[in-house]
Chain A
Amino acid sequence: MLALLRLVSRRHLTRSPGRTLLTLAGVALGVAALVAIDVTNGSSTATIDELVRAYAGKAQFTVSAASGTLEPGALGVAAATPGVAAAAGSLQVVLLVGPDLRIALPAIAGTGDEDAIREYVLERGARPTEQEVLLGGEAARRLGVDIGGAVRALTPLGVRSLRVSGVLADRGVGRANGTFVAVLPYATTDVLYQREGRLDAIDVALAPGARANDVAARLRSALPAAEVRTPEARGGQTKKLVASLQSLLQVISALSLFIGTFLVFNTMSIAVAQRKREFGILRALGVRQREVVALVTLEATFIGLAASAAGAAVGVLMAQAFLGAVNTQIRANFVAGLADQLVVPWPRLVGLVLIGVAAALVGALGPAVAAASAAPSEAMTVPRYAAVERPLRLRLLGFAAVLGLLCLVAVNAQSNAETAAPGSVAAFALMLAIAVAAAPLLALGVRAAAPLVEGVLGLAARLARESVLRSPGRAAVTAAALSAAITMVVGLASFIDSERTTIFGWLDQAVNADMFVSAGPVGSNSAPSPLDPSLAEQIRGIPGVRAVDLYRQVRIEVGTSFAALASVDVPTYLLRGRPQFAPGTRSADLTELVGRDLVFVSDNFANRIGIRQDDTLRLNTPDGPVDFRVSAIAVDYTSDQGLIFMDRTTYVRHFHDRSVDSFAVMLERPADLAPVRDAVGRLESGALFVQSNEEFKGSIRKIVNDFFSTTYVMEAIALLVGVLGVANTMLVAVLERRREIGVLRAVGATRRQIRGTVLIEAGTIGAFGAALGLAGGAGLAAIVFLISERTTGWVIPFAYAWTAAATVTVLSLAAALAAAWWPARRAARADVAGALMYE
């Protein structure tokens, strides 16, 4: 067997390096697409997991407020609860550091039984005392400081200089967030962040022999406004937040899995089918059937392994590029300062490589078994005058219908699901149904279009048709790969275009202050690093300022999920604009919100929770549950979790939080922008971040576009994969028809006519792939819209991406023709005499 592998397989691979490279590239690209999305999603959630785990240390439970912070005294209550051995409280904040104070550095400040719960392992230096900071390894490296050095940080009390007391080892707390983390002394943090004894979380370790459920019940009873969860459940809550953001990537991941494995299958099956004659000769020479199959198995394993490993490496590099864009979204909305730490899940990576190998094996084995089981004489003489099959394979349409049914069932399940899983299954089933139906549809389509096409293009089209019909399976597999790519492009483009148009339209209408002042830009983090409300007075005092609104947004648990709770100074807010009330709801006088237990909520929140106008919404406040009446429902795209909006005085009264995330400044005249901006820029030692209306909207648009740009890369890969398939198919078609092309040349076909035949065949495959893809794209778009509606509550108006559809059709046709150009040229320049002697 090894001799066969060395003699036959190695020679085969090295004899035509172009084809070998095409095969390897096809397999590698398929695996790269899989790995890129998987590692990107996995890295974000793994980093979140690690952050939660490192902060919670040895705790069995974490006590946290359903919204905002825990009341002062909660730590004492928790520590005194029977069955609790140790309780450590923490403030989990973000320092804005770096040369321009724009880098968000997650920091923890602990109090109570710290050493019993959390693990602080020092690489060098000491634990921080007043006005000091202990840095994680990556934080020290990125900030370029060491023990004794100073870190300038923007806090709610302004810019502070903190002395570096030491550097943490890569263990325990020091391991959090890819070691880009800081530890602050509790007393200093409590003052800087104006907490007055209110904690973010209390981590609790149980006494030996204590029953976990009993202790949890006691804690819930002692601290009724708090949630008691295991650290894993708390991490799970945070990951749930990210899940809706990742849902689009999950669908792309499912599609990548499909396109990737499909391509690997396609590539290998074509590569093996081409060698039918060679296997016939081997069989004639005494090689047994199972030895031929074993030879192909070994070959496919080697090719699959080599290409998949290369693809995995490329995929990891791509993930590194995607991670920044995805994490910017996560940082902007959920986890401030989340590090762009690439976490490569090795076991999963090995799994994905094995999927690549398995696809290569499945693709190779079918044709190999067929070739090995054919009589050697038949395999060797087949090209001559055996009957030419032109199968319709109509039974495949039945199988496709079953898959279509599965797709509908999954769509139905998605209608009642909050995760993207059923939708991903539906997308996968849809693509598979298209792929399965491709062969019979291609055969039927080519026959139906024949009179028209041959009327226009003549004999070349006739010969191309015969070539396609002779092996509709091969042509269809290629067309299906191309159609999968086009389905993905058109489906996602329809969704992205609709979402972007809607969000950007809303942004123009809703964001109408002249200037925004915050601690940092959106995306690096602004929300978790609040500002002192007294700054509003200073800004109001600047000549040219008409009004200043105070905006604060926090996360709040509602039922089993989260929502954003925003507060504004309603009278000032109404000076700059009014919300757009959701269709089908009554408009409301929002001035009635001032000082009262009334809220208005976003339409996506109302959809997700199932709440209507005038209903009562119960929110957990630090003082216990409070009922708010829903005064209005507005169209709003601030948060994919949904938004609850209340007046600032109501918020401060119930949540005891006076912090501000950003100030929305309205000017007397537009011309005042530059001087006011300069004046604001001088406040807080120049540490404030000031954006004009256009700059603010521009930064939001950029974040949205950056996120979607990751999908463009995947779409480009999918298209490339499809085009490689066309090149491969046409090359094989030309090689198989060597003799036929020689005959055509001998009886008078010019090179141009030969080229034309090959190009028409490629064009047929491209056009058919495009037609299937355009239809599939509409189906996929509908599925993605449904997933989005279920995971975010937003109902985005559906618009088919006609421009993208037209562009990708032209592009894929052009690419299919370009991919066939070299095989066509090769066919046209073939040695006629040699081809006629060829048997």
Chain B
Amino acid sequence: MISVAFENVIKHFDRGTERVLALDRVTLEVPAGQFCAVMGPSGSGKSTLLHLAAGIDSPSGGRVLVDGTDLAELSDDQRTLLRRRRIGLVFQFFNLLVTLSALENVALPLQLDGVGRREAERRAGTLLVDLGLRERLQHRPHQLSGGQMQRVAIARALVSEPSLLLADEPTGNLDSQAGEEVLHLLRATADRRRHTVLLVTHDAHAASIGDRLVRLHDGRMVSDSYGAGASAAG
């Protein structure tokens, strides 16, 4: 289990001559094992916050610490290895590789880490079966439903047994039933594996599954509350 901390983080993007402030002095600490939901409307900076935690983007100011280590002090390769071994990522649009089967997509992070193909696919297969995709192992993404694709994506995020799971609008592209299944899966997995979760969403229902709810608006943290369900509705 690892913690994530944002210390006075600023992030801006230059769009031509204009400078857009995506995050404005955000300070947030997510302790190890906590399921933290970040909620806010489009453009509030929640996806940016997630990208910073994954080390695929860097802050314009302040520090992002994963398990106490400032990501800015790591090289690109070190950040990549951190992501590969300790962080799992789930996206709104699944981001599966279209040319690979479900099994191959899930085995990918292991293979990138040097695990042999057979072993990687064995572990990926076990996970997919656990997630109810026994019949879909050799299917390519276009042969899967949205909910199935997101379950494959979650399996891919979990296959390296990460300590931190980052989920970006995981239900944003699913119908309500599939969305409900995915939320249930994320919560159940977090409870079972006891990893830290940072989930960003604009959906109050999705946000309600967290232990803690942080609200962002125009790049600023506007609220921070604990207790499942109650505060998300408000």
Listed stretches A31-39, A526-534, A655-663, A738-746; interface member: A738-746
Q: Which residue of B lies closest to A466 (CB)?
A: B99
A455 CB, min distance to chain B CBs, angstroms: 9
The CA-CA distance from A745 to B80 in the complex, in Å, is: 7
Question: A748 at the A/B interface (Cβ < 8 Å)?
Answer: yes
The CA-CA distance from A459 to B119 in the complex, in Å, is: 13
Instruction: Report which residue of A470, A739, A748, A832 has the largest number of chain B beta carbons within 10 angstroms of its beta carbon.
Output: A748
Question: A753 at the A/B interface (Cβ < 8 Å)?
Answer: yes
Q: Please tell me if the beta carbons of B141 and A832 are within 8 angstroms of each other in the complex.
A: no
Listed stretches A184-192, A380-388, A413-421; interface member: A380-388
Instruction: Report which residue of A387, A749, A837 has the largest number of chain B beta carbons within 10 angstroms of its beta carbon.
Output: A749
Give the residues from 96 to 138 in chain B that come closer than 8 angstroms, CB to CB, to chain A: 96-100, 108-109, 111-113, 117
Q: Which residue of A lies closest to B56 (CB)?
A: A832
The CA-CA distance from A748 to B97 in the complex, in Å, is: 14
Given A459-B111, A459-B112, A749-B80: A388 touches B56 (CB 8 Å cut-off)? no
Instruction: Report which residue of B47, B51, B94, B140 has the largest number of chain A beta carbons within 10 angstroms of its beta carbon.
Output: B51
A739 contacts across to B, CB distance below 8 A? 95
Question: B6 at the A/B interface (Cβ < 8 Å)?
Answer: no
Across the interface, A458 reaches (CB within 8 A) one of B51, B97, B111, B141, namely B111
Q: Please tell me if the beta carbons of A385 and B149 are within 8 angstroms of each other in the complex.
A: yes
Q: Please tell me if the beta carbons of A746 and B77 are within 8 angstroms of each other in the complex.
A: no
Q: Please tell me if the beta carbons of A746 and B112 are within 8 angstroms of each other in the complex.
A: no
B141 contacts across to A, CB distance below 8 A? 385
Q: Which residue of B lies closest to A739 (CB)?
A: B95
Given A387-B142, A746-B54: A740 touches B81 (CB 8 Å cut-off)? no
Give the residues from 734 to 782 in chain A that come closer than 8 angstroms, CB to CB, to chain B: 739-740, 742-753
Question: B91 at the A/B interface (Cβ < 8 Å)?
Answer: yes
Chain B interface residue count, Cβ-Cβ cutoff 8 angstroms: 35
Q: Please tell me if the beta carbons of A747 and B156 are within 8 angstroms of each other in the complex.
A: yes
Given A384-B93, A459-B111, A748-B81: A470 touches B99 (CB 8 Å cut-off)? yes
Listed stretches B24-32, B61-69, B82-90, B208-216; interface member: B82-90
Q: Which residue of A lies closest to B160 (CB)?
A: A748
Q: Which residue of B lies closest to A387 (CB)?
A: B142
The CA-CA distance from A34 to B51 in the complex, in Å, is: 53
Question: B57 at the A/B interface (Cβ < 8 Å)?
Answer: yes
The CA-CA distance from A385 to B150 in the complex, in Å, is: 13
Given A385-B98, A833-B51: A747 touches B112 (CB 8 Å cut-off)? yes
Given A459-B111, A836-B91: A388 touches B83 (CB 8 Å cut-off)? no
The CA-CA distance from A750 to B93 in the complex, in Å, is: 22
Across the interface, B89 reaches (CB within 8 A) one of A388, A467, A747, namely A747
The CA-CA distance from A384 to B96 in the complex, in Å, is: 9
A750 contacts across to B, CB distance below 8 A? 76-77, 80-81, 112
Q: Please tell me if the beta carbons of A747 and B83 are within 8 angstroms of each other in the complex.
A: yes
Q: Please tell me if the beta carbons of B111 and A745 are within 8 angstroms of each other in the complex.
A: no
Give the residues from 445 to 470 in chain A that come closer than 8 angstroms, CB to CB, to chain B: 458-459, 463, 466-467, 469-470
B56 contacts across to A, CB distance below 8 A? 745-746, 832-833, 836
Q: Please tell me if the beta carbons of B100 and A466 are within 8 angstroms of each other in the complex.
A: yes
Q: Which residue of B lies closest to A383 (CB)?
A: B98
A831 CB, min distance to chain B CBs, angstroms: 8
Q: Please tell me if the beta carbons of B91 and A748 are within 8 angstroms of each other in the complex.
A: no
The CA-CA distance from A324 to B32 in the complex, in Å, is: 80
B142 contacts across to A, CB distance below 8 A? 385-388
The CA-CA distance from A469 to B117 in the complex, in Å, is: 20
B85 contacts across to A, CB distance below 8 A? 748
A737 CB, min distance to chain B CBs, angstroms: 10
The CA-CA distance from A699 to B218 in the complex, in Å, is: 82
Q: Please tell me if the beta carbons of B76 and A751 are within 8 angstroms of each other in the complex.
A: yes
Chain A 375-404: CB-based contact to B (< 8 A → 1; otherwise 0): 000000000111110000000000000000
The CA-CA distance from A739 to B98 in the complex, in Å, is: 11
Q: Which residue of A lies closest to B82 (CB)?
A: A748
The CA-CA distance from A832 to B50 in the complex, in Å, is: 13
A747 contacts across to B, CB distance below 8 A? 83-84, 89, 108-109, 112, 156
B95 contacts across to A, CB distance below 8 A? 739, 742-743, 746, 836
A466 contacts across to B, CB distance below 8 A? 97, 99-100
- Write 27 A-B pairs (CB below 8 A) sorted by A numbering: A385-B149, A386-B142, A387-B140, A388-B140, A388-B142, A458-B111, A459-B111, A466-B99, A469-B99, A740-B97, A743-B97, A744-B108, A745-B56, A746-B54, A746-B56, A746-B89, A747-B89, A747-B156, A748-B84, A748-B112, A749-B84, A750-B77, A750-B81, A751-B76, A751-B77, A751-B80, A833-B51
| A interface residues, Cβ below 8 angstroms from B | 384-388, 458-459, 463, 466-467, 469-470, 739-740, 742-753, 831-833, 836-837, 839
| B interface residues, Cβ below 8 angstroms from A | 47-48, 51, 54, 56-57, 76-77, 80-81, 83-85, 89, 91, 93-100, 108-109, 111-113, 117, 140-142, 149, 156, 160
